[in-house]
Each structure stands twice: as C-alpha cells, then as structure tokens.
Amino acid sequence: MRLKNKTCVITGGSGGIGEAVVRRFVAEGAEVLIADVAIDDASALAKEFGDSVTAIQCDVRHEEQVAEVAKVTRARWPHVDILINNAGSELNRSYDETTVQEWDRVLDTDLKGPWLMCKHLVPDMVTRGSGSVINISSLNGLVGFPLSTAYGSAKGGLVVFTRDMAIELASTGVRVNCVCPGVIATPMMERWTKKMPDQDAAKEMLEGTMPIGRMGRSDEVAGAILFFASEDSTLCQGSVLSVDGGFTAQ
C-alpha cells in the first residue's frame, strides 16, 4: 500500500500501460481519475473499482478539455498527488510521406498534451509543496528508428520537457520524472503488427529487438511508474528510466 490515501490523474488510462497503472495504483491504495478520449473503455474500467476510480473524457490536445479535468479534480479531491502523462498517439510513416495533419496529431497528443496537463494541474502541487509528475516517453525518444520522425520527435521532446520541468520545479517539492518503455505487448503494438504483410514475422522481429528475448508486459512498466509515484523516489528529479529489456544498454 505504497500509495495509500494518494490521488492520481492519468491520461490514456483505459488500456495498455495506462490500464496496468490504474490496476496497480488501486491495489497500492490510490484513488485514480482516468482522463481519456476513449470514454467508454475508461468508464468500463472505472466501474470495476467503484469509488476508487473515476473516468472523464478528455482529448489532451485541447486546452478547454484539460482545464475541465483540473476543475473536476479540484471538486473531487482536496489535492492531486500524482500526475501521469500517458496518453499517446503513434505513427509509422516516413518523414516525406507524413502529412501536416498527422504530424500535428502526434506532436499535439504526445508533447503538447503533457504540457497542457502540467500547466493546469502542477501549479496546485507547487502551492502545496508536494507532488509527482511522471511522463511516459518511449524508447523512440532516446534512440533513432526509421519511419518514426513524428513519434520520435514528440517522445524525444517529452524527455527534454521532463528535464526542463524538473529543473524549474526543483526547489518546490514537486518531482518530475520520465519512464521510457521499450517494446511492450500493448494494443499499440498489435495495431502495428496487423499492418505488416507477415504478422508472425513482425512479432518475432519486435521480440528480437529486446536483448531479454521477449516483449515487455504492461504490468512491468507499471512497476517502474509506481517507483516514481511513491516515496521511494524522493531523490529523483529529472530522471529518465529506460524500461526496455536492455535495448539501450547495447
């Protein structure tokens, strides 16, 4: 129960890594608000946990929707302890075939969204002198991959955003850190493999990129996020944690 009596807002919490975080955090004693564009899935997940989990529809690209999330949290709780910027939008396309609309969608979701969430929720943490912000970047934010200019740019920007926020808030009592998952078995990976001519070969290729010989699990990433959310990481500020089965150690 490392998060007993803690409150948490997570974007994109209806599936994949986000869902694993919700389940782990509730098991650790937290109350959770899921802010997700997929409100039906988020509401169904929240229903499993009764009063411990609430869901609200939010597209993090739009400031008015983010502001509404902040308003709802203030009405529900006296304060927010943890903010997890997990909502993401992927794209597998070459730089010259990427449209302006696709570029804007990915950058607005994966980079502008976390900034907007911080803009509307973190000032209250600063006033209180306590809080933990955890940004979910990616292996793509640390190393280069083909067909990943939009996604990699957004996730790489999120890593630097984390460090800049961490330095700006270093003396406030608010911690800002980042988790970079590697190849994780999530619906995002399933969508990618389904686009491939040979899905089995694509899955084998993904597993082969991980030195441990398999894709990671969402609950394994949730454990890393829990570390930053808990009091076990009080000395971490601007830390970037790779959870990638050894990929970046090569």
Which residues, listed in sequence order, are joined to residue 133 by a DSSP beta bridge?
83, 176
Angle formed at CA 108 by CA 155 and CA 194, multiple of 5 degrees:
65
38 Cβ contact list (under 8 Å, min separation 6): 14, 15
The helix-helix angle for 113-128 and 63-76 (nearest 10°) equals: 30
Which residues, listed in sequence order, are joined to residue 49 by a DSSP beta bridge?
none
Asked if 20 contacts 219 with a C-beta cutoff of 8 angstroms, the reply is: yes
Backbone φ and ψ of 212, nearest 5°: -75, -10
Order across the sheet with 174-181: list the strands.
53-57, 31-36, 7-11, 82-85, 131-136, 174-181, 240-243
Asked if 222 contacts 24 with a C-beta cutoff of 8 angstroms, the reply is: yes
| 151 labelled catalytic | yes
Which residue is catalytic, options 25, 151, 161, 228?
Answer: 151
Q: How far is CA 22 from CA 25, 120, 131, 151, in A?
A: 5, 21, 18, 24
Q: Active-site positions?
A: 151
